[in-house]
C-alpha cells in the first residue's frame, strides 16, 4: 500500500537555506576524494588499453612488464573470474555480470577503443605506466561500427558474436540489435489518417559524456581472509558492492565499499570500472592497489549516453488537439547491450495527452564505450525530437505553441506512452507559470550589431524513482543527533537529509550531523540517482525521526513517572497531556538520557515503488552571429514542478546544472568519431562543455505542487532540467534565423552551413 500525505506549508526548517554540512571541507580542500586516499604500502595500478575499437586479441606478452623493477602484479582477461550471464537490478539501470566483466577487461576480443586488455600494479604510478607500455599485444584489427545505421545494415561487422537479440520476444542471432520493444495504444493508424495536420521528422544525435570533473578511481585491499575492501567515488556504495561481488564471484558480505567524496557523477558513477581490477591486482600483489583514470580513458571507456536516430510523427485535429503519435527510436548501447530505450519510451510523450500512440525502440550495439546512465537517461534525446516536432507542427498549422502545450497538457489520469497512468502531476501548473513568467512576457530586445536574436521553449519530463534507503539516528548528550546514511552526497543531500530529521525533531539543521558511511555501517541503500535521494532517503529520515520521537517519549515517561501515552511532542518540546505546565525540550532531554534508559537510537528504511513525476519547461533567448554561426545564450529561465523544495538553493542548483548540461549538449558536445572508431576529441579542450563564461545567469521558477507520496511533498528534481534545453535551443535558433536543425550538436559550423543554403 502506498501512503499519501496532505500538503503542508508551515515548516520551520524545510524551505530554509542552511549551509551544507560538508561545505567547509569541500571549499577548503579538506574533503577526501578518491584520488586523495592513501594507505600504508599503497601501490599503483594502470590498465593496458586497446588502441583499436574492434579487434581480435591474437596474443598478449606480459613478460617484459613482469620483469621490470618495482612491478608487483600483471593481470589479463584470463585472471577475471567467469561471471554469469545474469541480469541484476541496480536501481537506475541493470547490470549483466558477464557483459560487465567483459567491459572491464577484454577476453579474446576488444570491442571499443581503450578496452582494457591487461593491468599492471607497481610501486608508483609512473613505473606502472612504463610497465604497461611494455605489455605486447598482437591484434587482428576488425572493421568498427560506430553508429546505429551502420550497425544494423546488412553485412555489418558483428560486435558481439554471442549476442542473442530480443526482437519483440523473438530471438535473433548474428546481429548488433540487442533488443526491440514496442508500446502501442489505441487506433494509431486510423487516428493519424483522420488528423487535419501531421508532421514527420527524423532527428540524429551524437553520443555525449556526463563530463564529471573527477575521474573514476578505486583503491582495493584483498586481505588474507579473502575480504575485499574498496574505497571509491561512487553514486552508490551498495550497488558498487553488488557489481564488485558479482564480477569477482564472491558473496556480497566479503566486500566492503567505503564511498569517498564524489566529484560529479550524473549517472556515470553507478557502474564500476577499476574496483574489480584493483581488487584482483591487490590479491595478486598482496598490497593495497590504487587506480585513478586518465581523462582520455574517462571519455573513451566510461559514461556516455546514447546518440542515435529518432523518427517522430504527430497528428493533430483541426482544433489543435493531438490525436496520434508514433516514435521510432534507435539508441547506441555502446559495446555491450543496454541503451536506455525503456526510459526513452516512458518519456517521449509524457508532457502530452495523446489518445493513440505507438513507440518502437531498438537497443543497438556499436564499437563505442558502453553507455551508462546520464541525468534523465534517454529523456533529453526524445525531448529534442518531440519538442522540435511540436514546435514545427504548430508553425505549419499556425498555432501558438504555448497554447498548444497547454491545450494538450498531460494531467492526473493521462496515460503515458508506455501505459502508466499519471497520479497528481504538475505539468499544467508549470505551463501556467511559464505563460505568466516575466521572461515569456518580456520583449526580445535588440541584439548587438551583426547578430540576430530568437526565443525558444520546450517541455521536459523525468519519472523519478523511489527504491530502498536506510538511515540510523542517535542522540548525543548535547542535544545534537547523528544521522547515519548510505546515500552518497552529490548535490547537497547531507543537508537535505538533516533538514528532514530536524523538521520532525524541532531542532536546527545544524544540530543534526549527517555522515555517509560504508556498506558495513548502515542498511542497504540504493544509488544516489534517478532523482530519488531526497525523496526516498528523506522519507527514511522522516520515519527514523518519528521513531526517535516515540523512543524519547518513553524516556520522558520515565522522567515524569507517567505513561508514555500521556507524553505529547510538538515543535521540539515534550509535554504532559495531564499537566500542560510540565515540559522538557529536546536538548534538555538529551542531556538526561544517560539516566533515563541510556542511548536513544532509531532507524528508518523504505522501499518505495512510486516517486512522483517531474515536469519542467525552459525558455531561452539566444543571439546568433550570422557570419560565423556562433550562438550566445543571453537569457534563460528554468521552470519546474519540484513538489516541495526542501533546500531551495540546491533545488535551484539542480535546475541550473541541468540547464547548463543541456545547453552544452545542444550547442557543442559530441563524441567526434573517426572512421576507425576512435574518439578524436577525448579532452576537455575539444569536448566542448560550456564554461561559466559561456552562460548567462540561469533564472529559476520553482513551482511547488506537493507530491502526495512523500510526507513533505518532495519530488525528484535533478533530472528533468536536462531535458528541455536541447529542443528549447533548437526552437530559439529557428526563431532567430529561420533554420531548423534536426541533428546535435547545433554548433557554429552546422548553423553556418544551414544559413548558407
Partner 1 sequence: MHPFAYVAPVTVEEAVAVLDKHGDRARPLAGGTDLLVKTRANVWELDAVVDIKNIPELMTVTVGNDGLSIGAGVPCYQIYENSEVAAGYPCIVDGTDIIGGIQIQSRAALGGNLCNAAPSADGVCPLIVHSAVAHIAGPGGNREVAVEDFCTGPSQTVLKKGELLVSMSMPKPPANFGAAYTRFIPRNEMDIAVAGVAVSLVLDPSGQNFESARIALASVGPVPILATAAGDSLAGKPVNDESIAAAAALARDAASPITDMRGTIEQRRQLIEVLTGRMINKAIERARG
Question: Which positions lie near partner 1, rule CB under 8 A?
Answer: 126, 129-130, 133, 296, 627-630, 632, 667-668, 672, 680-681, 685-686, 688, 690-691, 693-694, 747-749, 752-753, 756
The three cell numbers of residue 254 are 566479503
Look-up of cell digits 551583426:
450
The three cell numbers of residue 327 are 516514435
The distance of closest approach from Cβ of residue 117 to partner 1 in the complex, given in angstroms and rounded to an integer, is 17
CB-nearer residue toward partner 1: 507 or 666: 666
Cα–Cα distance for residue pair 110/59, rounded to 1 Å: 12
CB-nearer residue toward partner 1: 324 or 620: 620
Quickly list DSSP for 291-340.
EE--HHHHHHHS--B--EEEEEEEEE-TTS-EEEEEEEEEEEEESSS--S
CB-nearer residue toward partner 1: 515 or 628: 628
Residue 407 CA to chain centroid, in angstroms? 31
The distance of closest approach from Cβ of residue 674 to partner 1 in the complex, given in angstroms and rounded to an integer, is 9
Say how many CA atoms lie within 13 Å of 576 toward its Cβ.
14
CB-nearer residue toward partner 1: 178 or 746: 746
The distance of closest approach from Cβ of residue 120 to partner 1 in the complex, given in angstroms and rounded to an integer, is 14
- Do residues 649 and 17 touch, judged by C-beta distance below 8 A? yes
Crossing angle between the packed helical segments 275-285 and 237-248, to the nearest 10 degrees? 60
The distance of closest approach from Cβ of residue 626 to partner 1 in the complex, given in angstroms and rounded to an integer, is 10
The three cell numbers of residue 338 are 543496454
- Do residues 289 and 282 touch, judged by C-beta distance below 8 A? yes
CB-nearer residue toward partner 1: 133 or 577: 133
CB-nearer residue toward partner 1: 182 or 753: 753
| Helix (H/G/I), strand (E/B), else coil: 624 | strand
Length of the chain: 757
CB-nearer residue toward partner 1: 27 or 693: 693
Angle ∠(672,677,678) on CA atoms, nearest 5? 60
As a three-state string, the secondary structure of 1-69 is CCCCCCCCCCCCCCCCCCCCCCHHHHHHCCCCEHHHCCCCCCEEEEEEECCCCCEEEEEEECHHHHCCC
The distance of closest approach from Cβ of residue 630 to partner 1 in the complex, given in angstroms and rounded to an integer, is 7
Give bridge partners of residue 415 from the DSSP assignment. 421
CB-nearer residue toward partner 1: 690 or 713: 690
CB-nearer residue toward partner 1: 250 or 755: 755
User: Helix %, strand %, coil % for the chain, to 5?
Assistant: 30, 25, 45
CB-nearer residue toward partner 1: 652 or 669: 669
Say which residues have a Cβ less than 8 Å from residue 155's Cβ, sequence separation at least 6: none
Question: Cα Rg for the chain, rounded, in angstroms?
Answer: 27
- Do residues 69 and 153 touch, judged by C-beta distance below 8 A? no
Quickly list DSSP for 505-541.
HTS-GGGEEEEE--TTSS-----S-TT-IIIIIHHHH
The distance of closest approach from Cβ of residue 756 to partner 1 in the complex, given in angstroms and rounded to an integer, is 8
The distance of closest approach from Cβ of residue 86 to partner 1 in the complex, given in angstroms and rounded to an integer, is 39
Cα–Cα distance for residue pair 504/259, rounded to 1 Å: 28
CB-nearer residue toward partner 1: 576 or 628: 628
The distance of closest approach from Cβ of residue 745 to partner 1 in the complex, given in angstroms and rounded to an integer, is 9
CB-nearer residue toward partner 1: 1 or 449: 449
The distance of closest approach from Cβ of residue 697 to partner 1 in the complex, given in angstroms and rounded to an integer, is 15
The distance of closest approach from Cβ of residue 205 to partner 1 in the complex, given in angstroms and rounded to an integer, is 17
CB-nearer residue toward partner 1: 322 or 667: 667
- Of 153, 130, 129, 133, nearest to 143 (Cα)? 153
The distance of closest approach from Cβ of residue 691 to partner 1 in the complex, given in angstroms and rounded to an integer, is 6
Give bridge partners of residue 208 from the DSSP assignment. 305
The distance of closest approach from Cβ of residue 733 to partner 1 in the complex, given in angstroms and rounded to an integer, is 14
The distance of closest approach from Cβ of residue 106 to partner 1 in the complex, given in angstroms and rounded to an integer, is 21
Is residue 615 within a helix (H) or strand (E), and if so which, with residue range?
A: strand 614-625
Amino acid at each position: 500500500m502506498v501512503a499519501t500525505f496532505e500538503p503542508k506549508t508551515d515548516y520551520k526548517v524545510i524551505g530554509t537555506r542552511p549551509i551544507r554540512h560538508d561545505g567547509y571541507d569541500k571549499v577548503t580542500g579538506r574533503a577526501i576524494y578518491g584520488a586523495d586516499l592513501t594507505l600504508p604500502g599503497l601501490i599503483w595500478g594502470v590498465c593496458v588499453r586497446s588502441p583499436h575499437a574492434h579487434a581480435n586479441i591474437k596474443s598478449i606478452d606480459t613478460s617484459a612488464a613482469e620483469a621490470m623493477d618495482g612491478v608487483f602484479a600483471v593481470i589479463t582477461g584470463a585472471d577475471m573470474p567467469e561471471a554469469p550471464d545474469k541480469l541484476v537490478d541496480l536501481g537506475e539501470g541493470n547490470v549483466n555480470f558477464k557483459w560487465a566483466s567483459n567491459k572491464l577487461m577484454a577476453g579474446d576480443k576488444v570491442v571499443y577503443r581503450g578496452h582494457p586488455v591487461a593491468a599492471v600494479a607497481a610501486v608508483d604510478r609512473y613505473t606502472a605506466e612504463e610497465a604497461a607500455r611494455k605489455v605486447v599485444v598482437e591484434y587482428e584489427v576488425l572493421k568498427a561500427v560506430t553508429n546505429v545505421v551502420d550497425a544494423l545494415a546488412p553485412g555489418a561487422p558483428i560486435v558481439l558474436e554471442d549476442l542473442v537479440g530480443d526482437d519483440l520476444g523473438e530471438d535473433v542471432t548474428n546481429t548488433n540489435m540487442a533488443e526491440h520493444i514496442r508500446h502501442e495504444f489505441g487506433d494509431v493508424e486510423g487516428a493519424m489518417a483522420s488528423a487535419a495536420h501531421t508532421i514527420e521528422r527524423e532527428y540524429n544525435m551524437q553520443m555525449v559524456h556526463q563530463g564529471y570533473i573527477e575521474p573514476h578511481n578505486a583503491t582495493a585491499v584483498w586481505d588474507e581472509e579473502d575480504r575485499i575492501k574498496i574505497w571509491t567515488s561512487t553514486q552508490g556504495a551498495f550497488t558498487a558492492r553488488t557489481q564488485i561481488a558479482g564480477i569477482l564471484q564472491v558473496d556480497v558480505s566479503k566486500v566492503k565499499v567505503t564511498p569517498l567524496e564524489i566529484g560529479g557523477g550524473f549517472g556515470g558513477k553507478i557502474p564500476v570500472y577499476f574496483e574489480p581490477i584493483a581488487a584482483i591486482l591487490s590479491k595478486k600483489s598482496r598490497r593495497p592497489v590504487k587506480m585513478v583514470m586518465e581523462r582520455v580513458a574517462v571519455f573513451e571507456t566510461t559514461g556516455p549516453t546514447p546518440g542515435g536516430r529518432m523518427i517522430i510523427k504527430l497528428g493533430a485535429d483541426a482544433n489543435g488537439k493531438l490525436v496520434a503519435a508514433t516514435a521510432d527510436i534507435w539508441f547506441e548501447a555502446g559495446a555491450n547491450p543496454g541503451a536506455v530505450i525503456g526510459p526513452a519510451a516512458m518519456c517521449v510523450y509524457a508532457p502530452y495527452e495523446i489518445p493513440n500512440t505507438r513507440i518502437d525502440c531498438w537497443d543497438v550495439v556499436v564499437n563505442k564505450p558502453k553507455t551508462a546512465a546520464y541525468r534523465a537517461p534517454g529523456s533529453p534525446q526524445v525531448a529534442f525530437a518531440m519538442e522540435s516536432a511540436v514546435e514545427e507542427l504548430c508553425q505549419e498549422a499556425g498555432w501558438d505553441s504555448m497554447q498548444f502545450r497547454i491545450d494538450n497538457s498531460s494531467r492526473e489520469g493521462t496515460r503515458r506512452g508506455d501505459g502508466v497512468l499519471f497520479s497528481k502531476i504538475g505539468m499544467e501548473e508549470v505551463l501556467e507559470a511559464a505563460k505568466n513568467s516575466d521572461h515569456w512576457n518580456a520583449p526580445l530586445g535588440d541584439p548587438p550589431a551583426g547578430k540576430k536574436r530568437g526565443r525558444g521553449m520546450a517541455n521536459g519530463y523525468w519519472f523519478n524513482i523511489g527504491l530502498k534507503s536506510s538511515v540510523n539516528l542517535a542522540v548525543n548528550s548535547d542535544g545534537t543527533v547523528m544521522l547515519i546514511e548510505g546515500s552518497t552526497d552529490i548535490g547537497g543531500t547531507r543537508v537535505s537529509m538533516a533538514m528532514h530529521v530536524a523538521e520532525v525533531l524541532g531542532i536546527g539543521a545544524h544540530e543534526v550531523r549527517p555522515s555517509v558511511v560504508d556498506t558495513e555501517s548502515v542498511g542497504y541503500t540504493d544509488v544516489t540517482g534517478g532523482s530519488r535521494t531526497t525523496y526516498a532517503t528523506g522519507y527514511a529520515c522522516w520515519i527514523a525521526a518519528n521513531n526517535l520521537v516515540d523512543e524519547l517519549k518513553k524516556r520522558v515517561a520515565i522522567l515524569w513517572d507517567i505513561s508514555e501515552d500521556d507524553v505529547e511532542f510538538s515543535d521540539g518540546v515534550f509535554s504532559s497531556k495531564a499537566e500542560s505546565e510540565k515540559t522538557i525540550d529536546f536538548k534538555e532531554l538529551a542531556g538526561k538520557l544517560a539516566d533515563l534508559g541510556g542511548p536513544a537510537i532509531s532507524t528508518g528504511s523504505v522501499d518505495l515503488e512510486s516517486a512522483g513525476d517531474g515536469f519542467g519547461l525552459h525558455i531561452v533567448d539566444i543571439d546568433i552571429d550570422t557570419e560565423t554561426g556562433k550562438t550566445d545564450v543571453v537569457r534563460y529561465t528554468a521552470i519546474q514542478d519540484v513538489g516541495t523544495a526542501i533546500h531551495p538553493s540546491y533545488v535551484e542548483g539542480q535546475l541550473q546544472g541541468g540547464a547548463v548540461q543541456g545547453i552544452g549538449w545542444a550547442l557543442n558536445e559530441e563524441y567526434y568519431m573517426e572512421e576507425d572508431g576512435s574518439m578524436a576529441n577525448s579532452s576537455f579542450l575539444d569536448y566542448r562543455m560550456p564554461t561559466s563564461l559561456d552562460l548567462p545567469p540561469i533564472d529559476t521558477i520553482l513551482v511547488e505542487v506537493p507530491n502526495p507520496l512523500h510526507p513533505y511533498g518532495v519530488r525528484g528534481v535533478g533530472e528533468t532540467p536536462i531535458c528541455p534545453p536541447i529542443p528549447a535551443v533548437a526552437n530559439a535558433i529557428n526563431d532567430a534565423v529561420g533554420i531548423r536543425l534536426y541533428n546535435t550538436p547545433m554548433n557554429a559550423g552546422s548553423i553556418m552551413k544551414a544559413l548558407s543554403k
